Amino acid sequence: MPSQTAAAPMPRTDIYDLLSRSNPDILTIAHRGLWSAAPENSLAAIRAAAELGVEFVEIDTQATADGHLVVIHDKTLDRTTSGRGVVGASTFATVRDARLRAGAGGETAPLTDERVPTLEEALEEARGRVFVNIDTKFPHELPLVIAAVRRLGAEEHVIIKSDVDPESRSFPVLGADWFGSIAHMPMFPVRSGKFAEDLRLIEPLRAPTVEVKFADIADLAAGREELERQNIRVWINTLDVSHNLDFNDSRALKDPDGVWGALVAAGVGAIQTDANVEFKQWLAGRSGR
């Protein structure tokens, strides 16, 4: 629970300052909020993550049938709520009527009094306490997401991510009207032996951070010089479904130095995890060594 680790304020007030490699801290990203303490993607999960002292929460958003952006991961309501049906085919009233299930949900998870929040509610909950990584589940809804961010004046508090293909040398996001006013994180798989090359190819994106998947951790370390030149922080998921070999939360809970420690040694500066309490405890112990 959050009380196991002392709460901390956001270490930086500027997202680019936070992500800069000049910041020596290893950043923690709470996947769907701190769902070990509250329903995933809920306002309570965002609050709990902020109280734990993580720097970012990752949340998922998609639109209801009547155009309301809500914070929920699955295409359907079934796993995480008391409701049933496709989110995108349901009215906002229907989605809102459902109660969120505890933790990661499932049929046996108890119901809570938490409801599916709107994106606006989630951004307001996070404002001034924790930065937000928005995962837009359907790319065609990104203009709605950008409009909501702008409406709330939250441009400086969020980061938008999108897949890019470095080899294409063509990045449509450069033409987006929001690019440059909202932080952007390119995502791509690391090509064997070509991480530095791919980083050079994406230089026009002026990325403060990149989220990558790798097949050889040595490739991450090989990109260190280019990462430093462009001031790019590497963001890695250690979720059990992240497909970065066996660098996952399940193994990290047994061997944190072998997973999180090895990633940090390879130059990773931000880790998205489902084991946030344990990761923060590991970081605290590491800094005390």
Residues designated catalytic = 31, 73
CB 274 within 8 A of CB 241: no
Tokens encoding 23: 């910041």
Phi-psi region of 157 (alpha: psi -120 to 50; beta: other; left: phi over 0): alpha
Sign of the dihedral defined by the CA atoms of residues 174, 179, 183, 185, in that order: negative
Calculate the CA 207 to chain-centre distance.
Answer: 16
Return the residue matching tokens 């997973």: 259
Q: Please, which residues bridge with residue 113 across strands? A: none
What residues contact 40, with CB distance under 8 A and at least 6 apart? Answer: 32, 33, 73, 80, 103, 104, 105
